[in-house]
Amino acid sequence: MSRIGDDRLAGKTARAILKWFEIYIDEFNEMTRRARRRFECRDWKGRHSDTLERLDLYDKILDRLAPDIRSLLGEQVCEKPLWTSIRERFSSLIERRFDADRARTFYNSVTRKIFSTVGIDREIEFFTLEQPRHEVNFNCGICKKYPPGRDILSVIRNILLDHSLDIGHEDMERDAALVAREVSLRLWPIIGFDKVCTFEMIEPIFFRNKAAYIVGRIIADSRVIPIVMPIYDGSRGVYVDTVILAESEVSIILGFATPISMWTSSSTMPWFLSCSRSSRQNRYQNSIPASGSTGMARRSSIDICTGSFMNRTRNS
């Protein structure tokens, strides 16, 4: 085939791989959108079924696309110079996508499906040792900013109201007071008497196993502190189990514990990754598969272990 013919074939194949990546994302998101209803209906069996289905989805998509790619490339399917061109075309197609890192990982998985690669083949795969950089959109449409102020209790109460679930809250005033106390203790050394703080919260609720998570960050005197409130379902309604303000603990939830009901917006992930420079470099990249990894689906069943203040107060 001529060089022009090879270029056209490379472009066509790159577009086909991107189409399959978008099919994967659409089907994945459709599954995660069930999470809220499963939680509100206490449908833990259905939640578990969704988790298994989601974990199997990645391999099933690869099985479905492989014949398509082989048919498209024909006798040239294993020609590595052609795949080098496909990689270049694919890179151009995804360079402005917020999920470009996951798209590169998906592309690598396609090459490994075709070539049965063991290890890394740098000739045809994406590979880098550098952590990806993300453009941050601080005005993303799914993030709500609460006005600066010193009344932490009112802010926490409004956050809980804005993230209400259909099951009802066991005792929202109690939970708001407990969370506000912990947050105030954390903020006191930073803002003291004369400064205020701003809360920025992601509006969608995150779900994992039998827990829901309210996720956001606090801007206090130019410092950025992550805040996560795990929500559990009790016999009398939902309750806030604790409030997590430490980067190391938040990184577990947003790293090893992902997907929760995961990042379905072009702005959510980079917004939260900006919580702090150290977190961006050392912690939260776990939320994004690195280029060169063999797959994207998280299979961890790690439990989130945090210091619950509700165990000490719910029955008091």
Q: Are residues 149 and 255 in the same domain?
A: yes
Q: Are residues 223 and 100 in the same domain?
A: no
Q: Are residues 168 and 276 in the same domain?
A: yes
- Among residues 62, 97, 115, the one where a domain terminates is 115
Residue 284 lies in a domain: yes
Find out whether 61 and 24 touch, Cβ atoms under 8 Å: yes
Find which of 1-15, 20-34, 262-276, 292-306 is predicted with most confidence, using mean pLDDT. 20-34
Residue 126 lies in a domain: no
Residue 244 lies in a domain: yes
pLDDT value at residue 174? 97
Tens-place pLDDT, residues 90-140? 999 999 888 899 999 999 999 999 999 888 899 999 988 766 565 555 555
Tens-place pLDDT, residues 45-93? 998 999 899 899 999 999 999 999 999 999 999 999 999 999 999 999 9
Structural domains counted in the chain: 2
Tens-place pLDDT, residues 226-250? 999 999 999 899 999 999 999 888 8
Residue 279 lies in a domain: yes
Q: Are residues 156 and 92 in the same domain?
A: no
Residue, of 279 and 234, whose pLDDT is higher: 234
Residue 122 lies in a domain: no
Mean pLDDT of 23-40: 91
Kindly report each contact of residues 192-198 with a partner whose C-beta sits within 8 Å and lies 24 or more positions away, as own/partner. Answer: 195/220, 195/221, 196/148, 196/149, 196/150, 197/148, 197/149, 197/150, 197/152, 197/221, 198/145, 198/146, 198/147, 198/148
Q: Are residues 213 and 107 in the same domain?
A: no
Residue 129 lies in a domain: no
Q: Are residues 175 and 57 in the same domain?
A: no
pLDDT value at residue 194? 73
pLDDT value at residue 109? 96
Q: Are residues 88 and 161 in the same domain?
A: no
Q: Are residues 261 and 186 in the same domain?
A: yes
Q: What is the DSSP letter of 299?
A: -
Residue 127 lies in a domain: no
Q: Are residues 8 and 58 in the same domain?
A: yes
Q: Are residues 162 and 97 in the same domain?
A: no
Evaluate the omega torsion of the peptide bond into residue 189 and state whether it is cis, within 30 degrees of 0.
no
Q: Could you tell me where the beta strands, DSSP code E, fall in the chain?
A: 143-149, 197-202, 206-208, 211-220, 223-234, 237-240
Find out whether 73 and 9 touch, Cβ atoms under 8 Å: yes
Q: Are residues 186 and 301 in the same domain?
A: yes
Q: Are residues 163 and 200 in the same domain?
A: yes
Cα–Cα distance measured from residue 50 to residue 127, given in angstroms and rounded to the nearest whole number: 32
Residue 79 lies in a domain: yes
Tens-place pLDDT, residues 144-191? 999 887 799 999 999 999 999 999 999 999 999 999 999 999 998 888
SS3 279: helix
The boundaries of the domain holding residue 10 are 3-115
